[in-house]
Amino acid sequence: MRSLSKFVVSLVAVAAFSTPSHAQETGGRVVLVLPFDNRSGNASLNWIGQSFPDTLDKRLNSAGFLTISRDDRAYALDHLGLPADFKPSRATTIRIAQQLDADYVVVGSFNVADNRISVQAQVLSTNALRLSAPLQDGAELPRLFDAENAIAWKIARQIDPQFNVAEQTFIASPGGVPLPSFENYIRGTNASSQAERVKRLQTAVAQTPTYAAALLALGKEEYTEREYAAAAASLSRVPAADATALEANFYLGLSRFNSAQYAQAEAAFAFVAARLPLPEVVNDQAVAAARQNKDAVALFQRASAADPNDEDYHYNLAVALFRRGDTATALREADAAVKLKLNDPEAAQLRARLAGAPLGTRPGATGSGASNGSFSPVERVRRTYSETAFRQAAFQLDQMRSLRMATLPPADQVAQHVQLGRDYLNQGLLPQAEQEFASALAIDSRSAPAHAGLAMVREQSGDVANARSEALLSLQNQSNAPAYLVLARLDLSQSLLSASADEVSKALRLEPANTAAAGLRSALEARGQQVP
């Protein structure tokens, strides 16, 4: 297939070593979600069927599965000669899954009656060729996200029966937007004409200005139309902590680059490279730096070392070395570029120039050789972003991190799980945070920081009773400010002002500079309750 096969083989091999044995028994971790069938008889609701892959992909990714993107799904359908809106039989579903190297396929349907949506989903195991029993859920139609998140949790549990994130955490996961905005976003991303896509996405953003997924989709459309200033304006509004920020900043870098704003382009590419150092990103960071007359040899070397079979990376490194005056090393890189792509005239011209240039010659200098001194090579930027490749790489990095953590002493493993959980919590990624805190507690059931972290997850997901229980468990093992603050917020919400003030006071004694505690003290004092 186009972009999954080789990478997924290695990816699943890594996952097989780092995934718990109970998950290995259920098969691999690659999941394909197909659009759900509309059983309502109302064609205007077809967009809801298209929305299920979008939401389920996000939730299943957060559960540690690798989902297959809409673009790759469309490629498989086209490769098999099938229309994008067809309803697959079981046999065709298996063919699609095999084309995409999927271990599981999620199929389903929905109905809408009396402003309520009912959902049914089934999971097909491509290895066992077995279809699960129907999984069902439903909600009032304005709470479509709740129904989709709930069915996603049941799917995760069907694939991995020991998946340890609470259903309420899935339902409370952020990302929900008003239904009209979500409808325009889904219709926009699935529209056949560019004009319709832009119109729908602009409407979604106008309705919900902070809608990161719609901002990204709109920015990509504007970039495709070469409206670089508009694209940069849309893409720069995607929050850095959002899951779409990497893709948004890649296209933001390209938009700035095409507007000759090279410093801003370099910063955008550097943001992505710091989190996911794929060679194409590092290459573009280097090109943007080179456009500012910076020495970018080290960055080009990183890109070439990461993918030594890419001709462009060798070419760019040769140009950067040539600019530095290292003619001998530049010639070796140019030789490598020509060998990888014999019909590249620029690479051949660069090699000829280097072969005939005296040592230390720089571009533009007059000298002997097959080409004249006016030849001034330019580094090549990568202009395409593969969502699948990026998500695969992020997934693989997570698996490799798990492998490394497994070699650490138990106390260090607990500390790292807790820190990762806090990082996810700060980004609003509740399922990922809960998994990290649960992993810490699986190693040390008395970990006070892990219980405090889980208390914050429960608090944010609206599970008040369990939030209080986890905070108390944390404090039984060790006094700590985060647990006291969970209790303080819960008590304040129930107007238990004296108890809340006492807990804030204890938190401040442990951490006098804690800004959250200071904020709670101000809130209590505004209600006439002094904090001891």
Helix (H) or strand (E) holding 169: helix 167-171
CA distances from 339 to 20, 303, 361 (A): 44, 18, 23
CB of 504 within 8 A of CB of 488? yes
Q: How many CB atoms lie within 10 A of CB 30?
A: 23
Q: What is the signed CA dihedral for 309, 314, 315, 319, rounded to 10 degrees? A: 170
∠ CA 527-529-531 to the nearest 5 degrees?
A: 130
Take residue 36 and report the two structure tokens written for it: 């759900």
The confidence score (pLDDT) of residue 1 equals 37
Take residue 239 and report the two structure tokens written for it: 């929050």
The confidence score (pLDDT) of residue 242 equals 84
Q: Is the pTM of this model over 0.95?
A: no
d(CA 254, CA 220): 10
Q: How many CB atoms lie within 10 A of CB 331?
A: 19
Distance of CA 126 to the CA centre of its chain: 25
- Tens-digit pLDDT string for the chain (532 aa): 343 333 333 333 333 333 443 333 334 688 999 999 999 999 999 999 999 999 999 899 888 888 888 877 777 777 777 676 667 677 777 777 777 788 999 999 999 999 999 999 999 998 888 889 999 999 999 999 999 999 999 999 999 998 888 888 888 876 678 999 999 999 999 998 999 999 999 999 999 999 999 999 999 999 999 999 999 999 999 999 888 898 999 999 999 999 999 999 999 999 999 988 889 999 999 999 999 999 999 999 999 998 999 999 999 999 999 999 999 999 999 999 999 998 889 999 999 988 876 655 555 544 444 444 566 889 999 987 666 666 666 667 677 777 888 888 999 999 999 998 998 888 777 888 998 999 999 999 999 999 999 999 999 988 999 999 999 999 999 999 999 999 999 999 999 999 999 999 999 999 999 999 999 999 999 999 998 8
Alpha helices in 261-377, H assignment, sequence order: 262-275, 279-290, 297-306, 311-324, 327-340, 345-355
Residue partners of 73: CB distance under 8 A and separation at least 6: 32, 34, 53, 96, 100
Take residue 155 and report the two structure tokens written for it: 């799917």
CB of 480 within 8 A of CB of 492? no
Query: Which SS3 state, helix, strand or coil, does residue 94 take?
Result: helix
- At residue 130, φ and ψ (nearest 5 deg) are -125, 135
Residues counted in the chain: 532
The confidence score (pLDDT) of residue 362 equals 59
Of 279, 289, 231, the closest CA to residue 256 belongs to: 231
d(CA 300, CA 317): 5
Of 401, 454, 409, 447, the closest CA to residue 430 belongs to: 454
**Which domains does the chain possess?**
5-175 (3.40.50.10070), 297-378 (1.25.40.10), 389-526 (1.25.40.10)
CB of 450 within 8 A of CB of 176? no
